[in-house]
Amino acid sequence: MSWLPRVSWRGSPAERAQQAWRIIREAGYEPLEPWPGKATVPWRCRCITCKRVRHPTVSGVLQDRCQHVRPEQPPPRSRAAP
């Protein structure tokens, strides 16, 4: 996809969080919590299109493995509510 940026994860933690935030927003999500700190960790977000809560990863978005309109996606076990 043309919107996929080339990513260099250098910089301060705040700079990396800002970069991750931009990537996830460009993919069609609105983050509902702070960035978890790693591109491979699921991030609780709301799909801008269908308004459902999803748990994409930044790396999944960058590899075009994440589609924001799809059947209900359960939260990952590490993020499931007790």
Residue linked to tokens 């260099």: 8
pLDDT digits (tens, 9 = 90+) for 57-66: 998 888 776 6
pLDDT digits (tens, 9 = 90+) for 39-58: 889 999 998 888 889 899 99
pLDDT digits (tens, 9 = 90+) for 6-41: 566 677 888 889 999 998 998 889 999 999 998 889
> What is the phi/psi pair of residue 31, to 5°?
-60, 140
CA distances for 81 relative to 14, 32, 50, 75, angstroms: 27, 15, 22, 8
Whole-model pTM above 0.85?
no
pLDDT on residue 2: 43
Q: What is the mean pLDDT of residues 56-79?
A: 66
Q: What are the tokens at 44?
A: 């609780």
